[in-house]
Amino acid sequence: MDFFVQLLVNGLSVGFLYGISAMGFVMIFKSSSVLNFAHGELLAIGAYIFLVLATEAHLPIYGAFILTMLACFSLGFIVEKLFLRPLIGEPLIFVIMLTVGLAAMFKGLILLIWGGNLHTFPDFLPEWLTLTWGGATVQPVYTLALVAGVTFLALFGLFFKFSSQGIYMRSVADNQRAALSLGVNVKNVFALSWAIAALVAGLSGIILGIINGVNVHDLSAIGLKVFPVVILGGLDSIGGAIVGGLIIGLLETLTGGYISPSLRDVVPYIVLVVILMLKPYGLFGQVEIERV
Amino acid sequence: MRKWIFHPCGNFHERYETQLNVYETDYGRFWTAVGIVLLFTAVPLVSSHYLLYVVNSIGIAAIAAIGLNILVGYTGQISLGHGAFFGVGAYGAAYLATRWGAPLLVSVPAAGLIAAIAGLVFGLPSSRLKGLYLTIATLAGQFIIEYVLIHWESVTRGTMGITLPTAGIFGLEIAGDRAFFYLIFTLLVAMLWFAVNLLRTRYGRAFIAIRDNDRAAEGMGIAIFPYKLLAFAISSFYAGVAGAVWAYYTISITAEPFNLGLSVEYIAMVIIGGMGNMSGAVFGAVFITGLNEILRWGTDLMMNMGFVTQMGLNMAPLREFVFGLAIVLFILFEPRGLAEVWRIVRSSFRLWPFSY
């Protein structure tokens, strides 16, 4: 029983991290229906920027954190400006292929600069983030993750529902040409959504880096594991990403614990195929209805 | 005797049938014939051992890339599992050859069929959906197949790998680079011929209609989902055949090379060569395999110079970076790929020296 509870807790915490990592991905999908295969690399870039600022430049932690967020925001902006803007109005297949190329490019670049070794952050989280809840204690990182997750969930929900930018984003995702002809500034929408997604990805990268250490192979693997998570939750649902993450995380740790550790990394993808078969739009995704 | 056409003064079609012609002029047909004859006579004679190995690798990659081009370039679906299906073909051939002693002529097509069936398993759930769900399903397929190849030990012998027997056709032993050259390129020409002609049939036209506008295609009575699935199965078949030949060629196989990186490599071939253009797949295969060899050669050279060794310059990340960069640059600047560059060069020479 103890073993089960431990697996449960592990699974939920791993899953919550998956959920947070998936939020940036959903952000991009929701605003441009692009499947971003470079998401894992965006996570990694955020983590590495923070690593450099915090350990090599010896900046104070909060300063390093704010600078990292700014850097990620601008990075998303630059990536959009350089690579995606020329493709506005082109078929989606080009954009998705482009993200496949970007993923390879970024990964190669990170490996060339920092190598494939595991780096760790200094221990910097303040003690007061440790929550004691009955007998159980929650590590400060997880408190941070929880706070970040809930905050972003609420912010995104409000953003997409009420702000005009959010509504523009949804219109662009639905039909880019129609949105263009109705006067939506698609360029701005793309730029903003990539910038925000890179920011969220950077933050999740830092959180993942605190827990597992920073390693580009692991982080880009998580970037791909986002796919089962969002398919399960529904591609365009940010809340669904969190729920999907929790379920995938649980399944992963339970399989790792009870069946076989080597199956652990494949289970999410088996789930993915099953979901596509049974409930293709996921738990909370919007079912596409087509009328001609 | 029909009229020979050598030099059209424009793109004229008098009947609808002529739009399906593979060659616009008999000039093109003539040079293709010359090219094939030269390929089979001159290339194996003048090439060194190493060059022949590179040429063979290009041939195998081109077979797989043609398959992916049918899916990506003509049907408008992305597969991120092409490398895994290549692996399925390799293991299929290895299993049939070692356990059942199947000859080459049986095991290679059978391996293609096995890969096609594996493709169907992953294509079936996703091709019911519109949009690019197939991409996600093939990503899952990539990881699941990789896992199965390593852990299904009774068939794949796990990390030990399988060593294949010498290949043979009708008692003729196929060993060494030159013999494989003939095998690979006969197969390549045959499969290229099949692919080009497939796209002139109703099936090929249905694929193209689905790529261009799936709603309109459906409205015209094309059953989208079976056709998408068919395109995916054909593409996996090509990957499987290429994998099978590759397995015979390298003799000993393990599951290691069939990773996501290989799949991205094939996608790079199709994009760089030119989506929706059969010669593009061949161009892409030449480009990527050539780039691979140049990078290997370059990193070897720098390793010998010594000072770079301290930097720990590694082949794999550099290769990944260059591939990614090539994909990105081609999509941004020449989305129709090298085939389009080749067409532009050719047509600018067509009226030379009297353009205008």
Q: Which helix (H) or strand (E) holds B239?
A: helix B224-250
Residues of A in contact with B78 (CB under 8 A): 93, 96-97
pLDDT of residue B194: 92
CATH number at residue B241: 1.10.3470
Domain-located, residue B2: no
pLDDT in tens, B243-265: 999 988 888 888 888 888 888 88
* B252-253 vs B162-163, strand pairing mode: antiparallel
Rounded to the nearest 10 degrees, how much is the dihedral formed by the CA atoms of B170, B93, B122, B68?
A: -60
CA B280, B282, B284, B287 torsion-angle sign: negative
Domain-located, residue B143: yes
Domain-located, residue B354: no
pLDDT surpasses 70 at B222: yes
Domain-located, residue B13: no
Range of the structural domain that residue B42 is part of:
23-338
pLDDT surpasses 90 at B65: yes
Q: Could you report the predicted ipTM of this complex, rounded to two decimals?
A: 0.84
Domain-located, residue B323: yes
pLDDT surpasses 60 at B310: no
pLDDT of residue A150: 85
Residues of A in contact with B335 (CB under 8 A): 90, 94
Optimal mutation site among A28, A97, A266, interface B, most CBs of chain B within 10 A: A97
Domain-located, residue B10: no
**First and final C-alpha spacing in chain A:** 55
Rounded to whole angstroms, the Cα distance separating A1 from A203 reads 35
Rounded to the nearest 10 degrees, how much is the dihedral formed by the CA atoms of B60, B65, B66, B72?
A: 170
Cβ–Cβ of B327/A115 closer than 8 Å?
Answer: no
Cβ–Cβ of A108/B322 closer than 8 Å?
Answer: yes
Residues 6+ apart with CB under 8 A from A103: A37, A38, A40, A41, A220, A223, B264, B324
Domains and CATH numbers, chain A: 2-116+136-278 (1.10.3470)
Q: DSSP letter for B78, please.
A: -
Q: DSSP letter for B167, please.
A: E
Rounded to whole angstroms, the Cα distance separating B159 from B161 reads 5
Domain-located, residue B356: no
pLDDT surpasses 90 at A149: no
pLDDT surpasses 80 at A181: yes
pLDDT in tens, A63-101: 888 899 999 999 998 988 888 888 877 777 888 889 989
pLDDT of residue A18: 87
A290 at the B interface (CB within 8 A)?
Answer: yes
pLDDT surpasses 70 at B64: yes
Cβ–Cβ of B324/A102 closer than 8 Å?
Answer: yes
Per the structure, the count of domains in chain B is: 1
Residues of A in contact with B132 (CB under 8 A): 35, 92-93, 96
pLDDT in tens, B88-141: 999 998 888 888 877 888 888 999 999 999 988 888 877 677 667 788 888 888
Optimal mutation site among A93, A229, A288, interface B, most CBs of chain B within 10 A: A93
Residues of B in contact with A280 (CB under 8 A): 125, 128-129, 133
Domain-located, residue B332: yes
Cβ–Cβ of A227/B136 closer than 8 Å?
Answer: yes
pLDDT in tens, B23-53: 777 777 888 888 888 888 887 788 788 888 8
